[in-house]
């Protein structure tokens, strides 16, 4: 129904993001229909960067009747800032690699077929990015 395995459901129960189900006389787990919506919420929140520990804290607070909205927004803002930092780092790495590839193209053009150009050795001479 939710597109996740039974193991995932049990894990969600263990970490506290999904309430424990009612057990039938046969030992089967019976979840309320709302659990499907919560699983979908959890999957989407994980996809945008929330951890299960963060979600457990948020959902516990919400289940206790205290709206966690401002805290959720602050946490999402921190995640966005972190993502922006990582994107900037990757952009810088991309520019550096593009420069290296361009240099290597020049080296290869000046190197005869079958002769070593020692491309990787040139990396030792480059300064590391901070």
Angle at 32 (CA atoms; ends 56, 42), nearest 5 degrees: 30
CB contact at 8 A, 47 and 4: no
CA distance 8 to 118: 49
Residue 32: per-residue pLDDT: 79
Which domains occur in the chain, in start order? 1-67 (1.10.1660.10)
Q: Mean pLDDT, 10 residues at a time, over the chain (130 residues)?
A: 87 91 82 86 96 96 95 98 98 96 96 94 78
Residue 17: per-residue pLDDT: 94
Residue 1: per-residue pLDDT: 75
CB contact at 8 A, 50 and 79: yes
DSSP code, position 121 = G
CA distance 57 to 69: 12
Structure pTM?
Answer: 0.74
């Amino acid at each position: 129904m939710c597109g996740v395995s039974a193991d995932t459901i049990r894990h969600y129960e263990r970490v506290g993001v999904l309430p424990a189900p009612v057990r039938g006389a046969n030992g089967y787990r019976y979840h309320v229909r709302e659990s499907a919506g919560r699983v979908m919420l959890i999957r989407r929140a994980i996809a945008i960067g929330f951890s299960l520990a963060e979600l457990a804290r948020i959902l516990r607070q919400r289940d206790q009747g205290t709206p966690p909205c401002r805290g959720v927004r602050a946490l999402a803002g921190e995640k966005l800032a972190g993502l922006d930092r990582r994107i900037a780092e990757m952009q810088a790495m991309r520019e550096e690699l593009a420069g290296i590839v361009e240099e290597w193209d020049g080296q290869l053009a000046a190197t005869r077929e079958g002769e070593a150009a020692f491309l990787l050795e040139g990396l030792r001479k480059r300064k590391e990015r901070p």
